[in-house]
Structure 1
């Protein structure tokens, strides 16, 4: 009998799976599809950034290999801006640039883990984190969040074994939108430090955090490089999703290990994407601030308009950054409901089952709503359609 590869035993990409639900379908002009399945912004970069990218295309080095860990100027800019934002001294040699934040996570796991090791992931989890751990032969250990969609430090402590190598979190969270309090991050950091683990903090959505000032003080810890690995994406803030630029902030020794992975997989990040990210960091701070205000307004609209759905038995568990996590009132699992939503309400959303392990009761009840590409009026339409939704037929 042929043994299946780890990739073969890993579930299919959820966003691609959801797209198959609408393949070949048409939707009327007066009731078009509302796509709340993906968080990536669909609009192009702002025109000034597009112009800067066009100029960069005429620079010869844009088309050549660059340093594996990224352009020195971009690494230095991240270090400078992060030092200001987090009130800490962050050196350029602790910053590595990657081909997107997913690659930063993969590189981190490759540098930290061997086959059979364990990484603790709060559930609902970000499915690409789970997918990479599966493909790497690393066991994802579910850390069940409470009703507030936050994990508990004591619960995490109970899951640590001799094979645990890291605790990996996302804040603001994907898929729930929850912003992890600084006190919780402090507790998880201290727990990781006591056990010789890494705390991986994916801050892809940090530019859309509703809190003013730094969301945590972990970079102010004297020995932060021994514990903290921060991940970041330029895709959301600057609309550079197709150019795949992310960052990994960690100990230089860990970056040296990650460099082996990065050199093997991509050799170097996209030169054009890196130049675009650098230009954006230097020139578009006011524009990004405006984008943040728009996303926060949408998050407010998600909360403000929810009361009629609450009266019908829905529950808004959390909302923030690009996401809301809702629990439905129907007697069917969320994967069945999600397909029903396409056919009956012309809504494409991802079911909670895509973000939870089998047996987790939160998965069948949950829906992730990504509102990066629907404004307040679109949110109103979404709610109207959900309110009018007929219950799906119960499974036979």
Structure 2
């Protein structure tokens, strides 16, 4: 899809991308200025500690403490090259070759990818009608080789948030079977329902078997800066630090200073969350106004994940990948087919773009479908302006 979009742009087409897993907004000016100042300081031109910048680790520890209600210190934190790297470091510290890690389906494919990169086997666990994990399903996939479960809340692409009533049974199940929980909290700032909780807030006793993963990429629009972290028990941090030391040496100091400035900026995530919630409501209303599309309201995150099986039936498309390709070619709007997330019949639409782009994209989708079916459809701009 990315290659096709690029080829269309090369031909002069005005392609709107709602397929990106990142905010359209630029990094805040204050963060950029902090990085520029850091570049000019010769002290930052040399090697730094493998575990990460002490000031950044201190801020991360404070943030994790606020989320979990537990005490964390800078020694409990390892800085990584983005949250994906942090997930890899966590998994490689917990498993041996051939061990299994449970991942949600539908879910972000990066979870399975980091497990494979660490030499493990990712085992897909089906979620319920609201895309949440259940202990019965986790237990059905558990074997003697199961070492961990990756829990993402809010999730990508589903936006599902596991509230306290869901987290407590999962934590109790993990404790009972000696299974680690790797909490992917990358979208924590984008909780549109007020129900996000750290699993350690629900069950503090799970701390010795929990890794908390986070980063600045989404809430601070810093995907390209590649700064993430994990907070974990000492043995996991030690293994992660050793891996970083033996491979990348450390995350670039300038990038870490930029991330430090970002964590001191509480306004940007709040504004982003407000805008994402408003745009979520707009795009879901508009999509549900198109015949053949059923779009649930995501609890969090920055993606809509509509069911397009009605369109596939009516138009004869084989799958959502074929529909997404048609949409790109016909309407010049790029979305991600649900097959990428283990959810045939759905597409992922990123609403972390400006209002004008979102309105135009929905109008193009609606117009293309209306022309293809030779019947009218609800005016998307009306739905967006409600």
Q: Which residue of 2 aligns with 1:196?
A: 178
Unaligned runs of 5+ in 2: 374-386
- Which residue does 1:355 correspond to in 2? 341
2:332 aligns to what? 346
Q: Give 3-state SS (helix, strand or coil) of 2:91's partner.
A: helix
- Give the Å deviation of 1:306: 3.1
1:226 and 2:196 aligned:
no
8 Å contact from structure 1 (residues 147, 317) kept in 2: no
Aligned residues between the structures: 365
Contact 2:51 2:78 in 1 (8 A): yes
* Corresponding residue for residue 111 of structure 1: 93
The match for 1:389 is 368
| Distance of 2:359 and 2:9 partners within structure 1 | 22
Distance, in Å, in 1 between the alignment partners of 2:267 and 2:68 is 19
Distance change >3 Å, CA 123–CA 93, structure 1 → 2: same
Give yes or no for contact 1:86–1:214 (8 Å, CA) kept in 2: no
Tell me which residue corresponds to 2:380.
Answer: none
Cα 1:150–1:126 shift into 2, 3 Å? same
Q: Distance in 2 between matches of 1:78 and 1:136?
A: 25
Provide the residue aligned with 1:299 in structure 2.
Answer: 280
Change beyond 3 A, Cα 1:180–1:279: same
Per the alignment, residue 5 of structure 2 pairs with: 22
User: Partner residue of 1:308?
Assistant: 289
How many Å apart are 1:217 and its aligned residue? Answer: 5.3
What is the distance in 2 between the residues matched to 1:274 and 1:291? 21
CA 1:285 to 1:231, structure 2 compared with 1: closer, same or farther past 3 Å?
A: same
Which of 367, 376, 388 pairs up with 2:347?
A: 367
Match of 2:381 in 1: none
Q: 1:28 deviation in Å? A: 9.3
Which aligned pairs between 1:1-396 and structure 2 lie closer than 5 A? 18-26=1-9, 32-212=14-194, 215-216=197-198, 218-219=200-201, 221-282=203-264, 284-309=265-290, 312-319=291-298, 320-328=300-308, 329=310, 330=312, 331=316, 332-356=318-342, 363-372=343-352, 374-390=353-369
Cα deviations by residue, 1:119-178 (Å, 9 ceiling, x for unpaired): 111101211122222333311111111221112111111111110010102111111112
Equivalent-residue separation in structure 2 for 1:113 and 1:194 (angstroms) = 19
1: CA distance between counterparts of 2:283 and 2:296?
A: 11
| Matched residue SS, 1:248 | strand
Alpha-carbon distance in 1 for matches of 2:297, 2:196:
21
Gaps of 5+ in 1: 1-17, 357-362
Relative to structure 1, is the Cα distance of residues 225 and 88 closer, same or farther in structure 2, using a 3 angstrom cutoff?
closer
Change (3 A) 1:286 1:213: farther
1:377 Cα deviation from its structure 2 partner = 3.5
How much does 1:238 deviate? 2.2
Residue 202 of structure 1: CA displacement?
Answer: 0.3
| Cα deviations by residue, 1:44-89 (Å, 9 ceiling, x for unpaired) | 3222222221111122232222111111111111112332344332
Q: Could you tell me whether the CA contact under 8 Å between 2:24 and 2:354 is conserved in 1?
A: no
Separation in 1, partners of 2:7, 2:340: 23
**CA distance in structure 1 between the partners assigned to 2:95 and 2:285 by the alignment:** 44
Which residue number in structure 2 is paired with residue 14 of structure 1?
none
Q: Deviations over 1:303-323 (max 9, x none)?
A: 3323312xx121114523211
What's the CA shift for 1:214?
5.8
Whether the aligned pair in 1 keeps the contact of 2:288 and 2:295 (CA below 8 Å) is no
Query: How many angstroms apart in 2 are the aligned matches of 1:322 and 1:49?
Result: 22
Conserved? CA contact 1:68–1:268, under 8 Å: yes
